Amino acid sequence: MTTSPSPTYSMAMPGKRFPRISLGILLVLPALTAITLLYALPLLRSLVTAFRDNDGGWTTDHLVRAFSLYGRDVLFSIGVVSAALVLIAVISIAIAGYLVLGTTPWAVRFLRWLYRWPLFIPFVVSGQIARSFLSTNGMMNGVLIETGLMMSESAQSFLDWRGLVLTFAWKQIPFVTLLLAGAMAAIDRSHIEAARNMGASRLRCLFGIILPQAAPTLWVGLILSLVAMLSVLSVPMMLIAGNPTMMTSMMAHRITYYGDYGVANALGLFSYALTAVTAWIYLRLTLRREVAS
Amino acid sequence: MNITRVLSPIGLGLLLGVVAFIVFGPLLNLALWAFAEQWFYPNRLPTGWGFSFWERVFRPRAGAWTSLFNTVLVAFSAVILSMALAIPAGYALARQALPARNVIMLLFLLPQAFPNLPIFVNIAAIFYQWGLNGTLIGVVLVHSLPGLVYAVWIATAAFSTVDRSLEEAARNLGASPLRTFIGITMPQALPGLLAASIFVFLDSIDEFTGTFFVGAPEITTLPLLMFNASMGGNYQVAAITALILLIPSVGFMLVIERFLKADVLSRVGR
């Protein structure tokens, strides 16, 4: 049979006269322009401004000043974020593990319905929720006192670093759990069944078989949570009145009160560095895993 | 260790009760504040209930209507702008042989991979020079940055799940490329694109930092209104605004799995 083009095929030909590559670039170009103007340009400006003095010369003054003025806030941020990440990891593993290994159907169904509620609640709303729930006469202390778990004299406000950790965890646990439970559900059930048949306890199954396979997803969830916590401005502004506080709060402070973009951008550089270090550790871990397997 | 005995039904029920309190307690506390007219220490519950603060918030010419209108207008504009840019880009990234495709994908990943506050600060400084600070256009643009990132990634994933053989069949039957795209490709990609639109919409409604630097004080959205009320010590107004902000968030949480199908999710980032 000959391969002479049918009439329909030749009708489709005009589209092929354009080289495909240029059409593709044409389609991507508007979005690329937008991301360049809205992201690459401000990013470049933030990096450059951190190293520029008023006369346009290069300097490291802003970095030094940022560290001497806000070193405590940087350490405070690292501490809060680390504590929150540990809490998020532990509880997400517990919830996702129970969702996969739980043997009481009603409890699994109920927990699956329950844990997701804070998933899309805005940070700014979480901040307000924490302000009322965690304050000295908030509902948390109220319930603890009414149930006899705490004396009313020892009621205290949690609106400090503990409030930040709890609020961040409350907001981010559903997100990490959603990712982790998805990854755990995708694991070959036969591995789990085999281990269970050999007499492994459910805890042993979770930490020996399921978690190692789902660990990359957990890491991704934790890194995304880290970025979210280092980005959010509203929660630290609403929960922490004085010093030390999160870096974001101090950046905003530096700009609204002093118009000092140099020091603010130098602080921004610290938050980039913090994320970059974590991402680097993650990449090293995954690379080692890939080499090993 | 015998975990089954520890998690006997009663223990299990208690544990789930504690989890339920941790999840819903804070939300309940917020709802109480929204309807409390009098609530002084040391009362555990409000001593006066009512809607008078709702009336204050929704009085004609009160700030809430303007904020609500701004919020919805900005969110819809951000969705239209992001999707108009992301649909062609997503199609090209999924289908066309692009030079440096990985670099382009990475460029669309970076905004989510690093803290965005310094970016918003510098956008505000740039917008100030362009006269965009304190304008609705400026706020729409700053809301479209995170929106565009989600939209491009999800749209790319949605287009790459479309069955190509159907498109080829349509073309062989004589459909033009445009007709094939509208009649065959779009309907299949639609659930993913809808999910992307909802993400952009929600993200814009909740967006605080960008509006804080670019919009305030001229443009007030609901999150800013809530923030100002809270910082001013007006917990009732803050709680009412927060409840309004919760409606779309919780609504979407309940239906997310219907929109984001596993086959699209598994292709995000490829």
- C-alpha separations of A17 from A14, A20, A81, B88 in Å: 5, 9, 55, 19
The burial class, CB within 10 Å (0-12 / 13-18 / 19+), for B2 is exposed
CB pair distance less than 8 Å for B41 and A21: no
Measure CB to CB from residue A30 to each of B24, B85, B98 and give the nearest one. Answer: B85
Spell out which residues of chain B touch residue A8, defining contact as CB-CB under 8 Å. 171-174
- 3-state class (DSSP) for residue B129: helix
| B128-143 pLDDT tens trace | 999 888 899 999 999 9
Q: Cβ contacts (< 8 Å) between A137 and chain B: which residues?
A: 41-42
* Complete domains list, chain A, with CATH: 60-292 (1.10.3720.10)
pLDDT in tens, A100-147: 888 888 889 899 888 888 888 889 999 999 988 888 778 888 888 888
A104 touching B (Cβ < 8 Å): yes
* pLDDT tens per residue across all 293 residues of chain A: 444 444 433 344 444 455 555 788 888 889 999 998 989 899 999 998 888 887 778 888 888 888 888 889 999 999 999 999 999 999 999 999 999 888 888 889 899 888 888 888 889 999 999 988 888 778 888 888 888 787 777 777 888 889 999 999 999 999 999 889 988 888 888 888 888 888 888 888 888 888 888 888 898 899 989 999 999 999 999 998 877 889 899 989 888 888 888 889 999 999 999 999 988 888 887 777 777 66
3-class DSSP assignment, residue B20: helix
Minimum CA–CA partner of B201 in chain A? A120
Is B219 in CB contact (< 8 Å) with chain A? no
Instruction: Find the DSSP H helices in chain A.
Output: 7-12, 14-17, 20-35, 41-49, 61-101, 105-114, 123-133, 139-146, 161-185, 189-197, 202-205, 211-231, 234-239, 247-258, 261-292
CA distance B60 to chain A (A): 24
Q: Does the N-terminal peptide bond of residue A42 adopt cis geometry, omega within 30 degrees of 0?
A: no
Q: What is the pLDDT of residue B99?
A: 78
Our CA dihedral for B259, B203, A230, A131, rounded to 10 degrees, sits at -100
Which DSSP symbol is given to A115?
Answer: T
Strand residue runs (E) in chain B:
36-38, 48-49
Tell me how far the alpha carbon of residue B91 is from its chain's centroid: 23
The residues in B 74-93 lying below 8 A from A, measured between CB atoms, are 84-86, 88-89, 91-93
* Angstrom distance (rounded) from CA A90 to CA A84: 10
Q: Is B205 on the interface with A (CB under 8 A)?
A: yes
Residue of A nearest to B251 (CA): A120
CATH class of B68-265: mainly alpha
Sorted by where each begins, the domain ranges of chain B are 68-265
Predicted model pTM: 0.85
Closest to A24 in 3D by CA, of B159, B258, B54, B137: B159
From B228, which residue of chain A is nearest by alpha-carbon distance? A238
Q: What angle do CA B218, B238, B20 make, to 5 degrees?
A: 135
Encoded tokens for A71: 């070193």
Residues on chain B touching A122 (C-beta within 8 angstroms): 205-206, 208, 223, 245, 249
* Nearest CB partner across the interface for B171, out of A12, A28, A237: A12
* Alpha helix segments (H runs only) across B173-234: 177-180, 186-206, 209-210, 222-231
pLDDT digits (tens, 9 = 90+) for A169-197: 999 999 999 889 988 888 888 888 888 88
Complete DSSP assignment for A148-207: TSS-GGG----TTHHHHHHHHHHHHHHHHHHHHHHHHHTS-HHHHHHHHHTT--HHHHII
Q: How far apart are the first and last CA of chain A?
A: 50
Kindly list the residues from chain B whose CB atom is less than 8 angstroms away from the CB atom of residue A49.
122
Phi, psi of A150 (to 5 degrees): -150, 145
Distance CA A127, CA A167 (A): 7
